[in-house]
Structures are given as C-alpha cells and as structure tokens.
Structure 1
Amino acid sequence: MKKQELKAVLFDFDGTLVNSESLHFDAFNELLEPFNIEYSWEEYAATMAGKPAYYALEQIIKEHNLDVPFEETLKRKEALSYKNLRNSPVTFMPHAIETLNYYKDKGITLALVTGSDREMVDIIFGKEDLAHFFEITVTSSDVKDTKPNPESYLKALGDLGLQPENCIAIEDTHSGMTSAKDAGLQCLIVQHDTAQHKRLQKADALYTDLREARAHIEARFSF
C-alpha cells in the first residue's frame, strides 16, 4: 500500500492532550448543585464531553426544564471552569508531550483545534510551555459554529493552506470526530475509556493512547 504524504497533524485539546475535561465536569456539577442535579462521569462523557459549554448547558436546561437566565448561567459555569483551571495543575494525557516532540522533530506541522474558548487555552498556555508546538490554534472563539460543526477544522486547513488528504486529526469524542470527518479529514480516536468506543466506531481507528495512534500514522503515512 502506497503511503500518503503527511504534512500536518491536527490535535484536539481537552481529553486528547490535556486532561481538563474533569475540570469542566466538576464545574457543571457545582453549577447544578442548587437544583439537586448531579451527572455521573459516564453521563457527562457520553453527552457533553468535547462540546462547547453553551451547547452542553442548552442540553441540561432542556432536559431538566430549568427556568434560569441562559447567558448569566453560562457565565457562571465558565467562571467555575476558569477557577478550577487556575487552581489546579495541568495534567497531560499519557504520551502527550512525547508525541508533540516526536512530530515537531520530524518537521510535521502541528495545529490545535479545540472546542474550548481562547481564554481557556491561554490559561493553559500560560501555565505550560505548549504554544511553540503549534503553527496555528483554532478555538471556539475563532469560529461561528464550533464542534461538531466542521468549521473549526475547515478554518485550520485553510489557515495552513493544506488539503485534508495530507493531514490527520486526533480526537477523543464523538463531537470532535464528527467535526473532523465532515471536514474531509481522517480521524483517529484516542480514548482510554473503552466503554466509549462503541459510539465512536465511525472513526478511522480507535486507540487507547497517543503512542498507539502514532504507530498507526507511521504505518500509513510518509514523512
């Protein structure tokens, strides 16, 4: 099988490179505590992980028929997430820095394509030396419709001046996978929670960590 030339790897952020989804999970449950609503991690991962806060909040309000001011409630949730992030060390997913260094050393362009907003990314970049890895960063603040809409990935491809066949996306959620696939990209899912794999079968491949995903890319792309 002839290998395709690889020019760029486009990474999701939360749950793929950094383990910040748990901070959003805690923020939502803290926000909902006065209403006696609590989500399990399994419920959160299946329905809200990888989606922007406003999308998840819309789901919650509809599901529980909550009579709350949307914009004010969204601001409270974001404030809780920022507080959690500022007060907690950044935790990386297994092999994240090793993987970024590997592709950087090979001369592969790296991009960050995330459903998080610019402030959230800047907080993490301010705590950890990550910005230099990425040629571009596309956040939910940079597009009209974020994941699962393909706009984020289409913007990244346009900004890089690359075709999707010479790139690959690495995601951890159904929302992110849908965004990448609809933009014409191959998408690998890296999800250590194998219970989530069933609903992620449309990915080009499923792996439990970034090192496994790297082996897939090495076998199928030239660089």
Structure 2
Amino acid sequence: MPKAILFDHDGTLVDSEPSHLALWNEVLEPLGVTLPEPLYKDLYAGMPTPANAVDIAERFGLDVAPAELAERKAEATRAFLAARPFPLMPGTREVLDRLQAAGLRLAVVTGAARDATRASLAAHGLLDRFETIVTADDVAFSKPAPDCYLLAARQLGVSPAECVAIEDSEHGLQAAADADVPCVVKPTPMSAHHDFARATVRVDDLHAAAAWILARAAA
C-alpha cells in the first residue's frame, strides 16, 4: 500500500520540456549551434542541465566549459520563470487534491535546480503541497542515478517500496526503478518514444495515474 507519492517536476507537474528546448537554443544560438528537437527528445528530455551541458559541449565541439554552459542555461531559465511560469500539466491541481484527500503524502523529486523548481511551484501556489522537494542540488548524483529518490524516501521516513513515483521520461524511470520505487510513467510528446519497459504501469495522463494509485491505496 503506497504511503507517499513522489512527483517528477518537468514534464510531469509542469509542461516545461518544449520551453527547455527553446531555452537551450537561445543559449546555443550565439555559439552557432541549433539543437534539433529529435536530438533533444532522444538525449536530453528529463536529464539534469549539467549532464546535458557536458554532452552538448562535447557533441558540438564548443569552446565553452560545460559548467559555464550549464550556468548560461540556468540563467536563461531563471529569466524565463521571472516573466512567466511553466504551464501546469492538465489535471495537476485536481490530482494533488485527490491524493492528499486520500491521506497520501506528496513530494517532488527532480533533476532540475532548486531555485528553478521552487520558483516554478511557487508561481502556481503549490510549494506548500509537498512535504519535501529533492532537487539536483541536494544529491551528488542526480537522475538517472537513484540518489534523489532514496533521499526523498529517507526524508519522509518511509521505505522506497512504500512510495510511488510519477515520471515522464526514461531517465526518470531509471532513477526510480534503481531506487526500488514503483513507477507510474506518463509520457509526453517529448518522451513517448523512450524505453519504459521497467515501468510499473504506463498511463496517458495524471488522472489515470491518480486512479491507479488510489486503487492500490484502497486495497
């Protein structure tokens, strides 16, 4: 029986991946590089910015240190969020209401930076809905490593088996599965082609994810 629901942020709670692709291209344009959408979908959707920066710098032979490239992307994201929030995924508020009404504890587990995640959630008035928020800044190794999920379970005082993760990407699924956290996968157009063979269940939207979780909580 699940006790805690661990939500990914980008692509799960908020529809941010198209914006992240646009922000990467904003950062890369002065360097003479355009990141094609198919490449972003294959390699970068759902991955932390520092890891993406390492691959992009190497792949395109950029004369910029990956750490500097990651900081430029982080700054672009901060500027974006200062002007507007990422839109919520359909059903986000209703699903949070349903899960909390059932007595389930909620957390966010993301490969994004702490400041961007908190700004995104605060813009929608959702910060106080989550008991803990684990970001890439809180672990030595972010997604697809399992560290973030293991830390969230420890902070909540529950075992990984007593949690359910909700993810949208193969990289996030790998992190949850390697932490022995059952994982509901809700793909987006950016991740629909990912390998989700390790998912506990695959659903079409957050409402279906909540229905699956609540059925098990009531069992």
Q: Deviations over 1:192-216 (max 9, x none)?
A: 3287245222211212211111222
| Equivalent residue for 1:203, pick from 199, 203, 206 | 199
Alpha-carbon distance in structure 1 between the residues aligned to 2:141 and 2:194: 26
Alpha-carbon distance in structure 1 between the residues aligned to 2:81 and 2:147: 26
Alpha-carbon distance in structure 1 between the residues aligned to 2:207 and 2:121: 23
Structure 2 residue 213 is matched with structure 1 residue 214: no
* Change over 3 Å in CA distance of 1:117–1:11 after alignment to 2: same
| Structure 1 position 141, deviation (Å) | 0.9
Greater Cα shift, 132-141 or 19-28: 19-28
Greater Cα shift, 167-176 or 119-128: 119-128
SS in 2 for 1:82: helix
Structure 2 residue 127 is matched with structure 1 residue 131: yes
User: How many residue pairs align between the two structures?
Assistant: 219
Kept after mapping to 1: 8 A contact 2:98/2:210: no
SS in 2 for 1:200: coil
Alignment of 1:69-84 (within 5 A): 69-84=65-80
Partner residue of 1:189? 185
* Change over 3 Å in CA distance of 1:23–1:111 after alignment to 2: same
Partner residue of 2:53? 57
Greater Cα shift, 139-148 or 41-50: 41-50
Question: What's the TM-score, normalizing by structure 1?
Answer: 0.91
Structure 2 residue 69 is matched with structure 1 residue 90: no
Runs of 4+ in 1 over 4 A off after TM superposition: none
Compute the RMSD of aligned alpha carbons.
1.7
Q: Percent identity?
A: 35
Alignment of 1:10-89 (within 5 A): 10-89=6-85
Alignment of 1:86-125 (within 5 A): 86-125=82-121
Where does the alignment leave 5 or more consecutive residues of structure 1 unmatched? none
Alignment of 1:168-179 (within 5 A): 168-179=164-175
Question: What's the TM-score, normalizing by structure 2?
Answer: 0.93
AA aligned opposite 1:184: D
Alpha-carbon distance in structure 2 between the residues aligned to 1:198 and 1:33: 27
